Amino acid sequence: MGAASEAYEQLLAADPRQPSLRHNLGMIRLHQRSTARALPLLEQAWAEDGNNDGWLQSLPEIGMVLYHMGLWEDARLWLGRAATHAPPGTTLAPALRDALHRIQPRDHLAPEVLDPLQGRALLRYAPRESDTYVYAIDVVGTCNLRCPTCPVGNFPAAQRPRGHMALDLFERILDKIMAEAVAARPAIWLFNWGEPLLHPALGALVRAVKQRGLPCHLSTNLNVTRGLRELAQANPDDLKISLSGFTPERYAITHQRGDLVLVKSNMRLLRRLLDEARATTRVWVGHHLYKGGEADIPAVRALCDELGFEHHPIAAFYQPLERLVDLLEGRGSPDPIVSMLIEPPQVYLPRIAAARSTRHDCELRFNQTVINHDGTVALCCNVYDQPNMLGLDFVDTPHAELEAAKYRHPFCATCMRHGLSYTIRDASKLG
């Protein structure tokens, strides 16, 4: 492909009036993932010769390549052109339809917002984590494990409220969510840093969400058996199982205090209980990979296939946000677990920051509210320590006031300065 690129560059230099040469060179660079050099060529070729039938194949191809690169805003433009210029009666491919749906702007979001910390407007985009607004309610303020990449394990000095959310408080929170109607059907996540299976009335919490017609999602380390039957009968929409390593030796390090034998047993028990309850819960395993952990993928995938669970391997990463900032600013010494990561934060964070847009807002501000077990509100789902709580009670504080408090919080400026904000990638910075 490198030779073809050079050939087209020479042809285009000799005759820059040919849009077909610009198109072909742009497509080659796009497939080389050099978007900064590809998209200007494709845009110019489209402006010059967009009526050419050859674009009927190129438009969806460009859009889907950008989509799979995570460049959703650029993908939306090209997929929209593909849908608009398709011949009458053409049925769009399912993958293209799904991509278009996922990246369309959401009705509950304003297109931009003034960031008072930067004194300028930031653009919004279709959120990655959910197609609706998210309320992450940490119904349990602690965890039974001490995973070293999680603040429950690596940040014992943090000032953090611990306990179980009272059912009556949970009901009042849901009533306020329904009354404010930030989105038509906001998603309710019954977790943040805590382990929801520790809550003695988890089944009742899930039922309270479902009774209001809202989607309900959970994440668990599955080291707790109590309450699994009630949970299956309550039929949450999604259940993520957090897993790291598939040997007892590896798991004992990365999920400290955990019991892999119990997790495997509970996975089989959960499958049986869901079947007995005729539940429709989507279950997926978030398989966090550390150095050497790739060897476990076939065995974990085989168990997931046997049980009808989805398997999603991902490189393990280090949290919370406060500890990442400490690492980047040279405070303290890294935890030993950092040496087990496939890539240390000091390497992957600058790379991610370099590709992120500075023109777009952070999704964790504009599309999510995080509620602690005592009903107070956190700045976002990535912070852990008391200084990064908003000091506001969710039930008593209007949504607009909570959102304004997020945008005024100084830690947001620190986060953005380091490129840590959860936002989209910028095609102009890639390649």
pLDDT of residue 431: 79
Q: Is the peptide bond before 320 cis (omega within 30 degrees of 0)?
A: yes
- Nearest alpha carbon to residue 239 among 192, 305, 193, 283: 283
Give the whole-angstrom CA distance, residue 370 versus residue 157. 21
pLDDT of residue 132: 96
CB atoms within 10 A of CB 321: 23
7 burial level (CB within 10 Å; 0-12, 13-18, 19+): middle
pLDDT of residue 1: 65
Q: What is the mean pLDDT of each run of 10 residues along the chain (431 residues)?
A: 78 84 92 94 93 88 93 92 84 84 91 95 94 97 96 92 94 98 97 98 98 98 97 98 94 96 98 98 98 96 98 96 93 88 92 93 97 97 97 98 97 94 92 79
pLDDT of residue 301: 98
Q: How many residues does the chain have?
A: 431
Stated as kind and residue range, the H or E segment containing 121 is: strand 120-123
Stated as kind and residue range, the H or E segment containing 210 is: helix 202-211
Give the whole-angstrom CA distance, residue 94 versus residue 111. 27
pLDDT of residue 4: 79
- Nearest alpha carbon to residue 61 among 45, 48, 42: 42
Give the whole-angstrom CA distance, residue 173 versus residue 154. 30
Sheet bearing 368-371, strands edge to edge: 310-315, 282-289, 238-243, 216-220, 187-189, 134-137, 368-371, 376-378, 389-393
- Nearest alpha carbon to residue 244 among 323, 312, 186: 312
Contacts of 169 (CB under 8 A, 6+ apart): 375, 395
pLDDT of residue 200: 97
Beta strand residue intervals within 186-309, DSSP E: 187-189, 216-220, 238-243, 282-289
Q: Annotate 54-85 with DSSP letters as a single string.
A: THHHHHHHHHHHHHHTT-HHHHHHHHHHHHHH
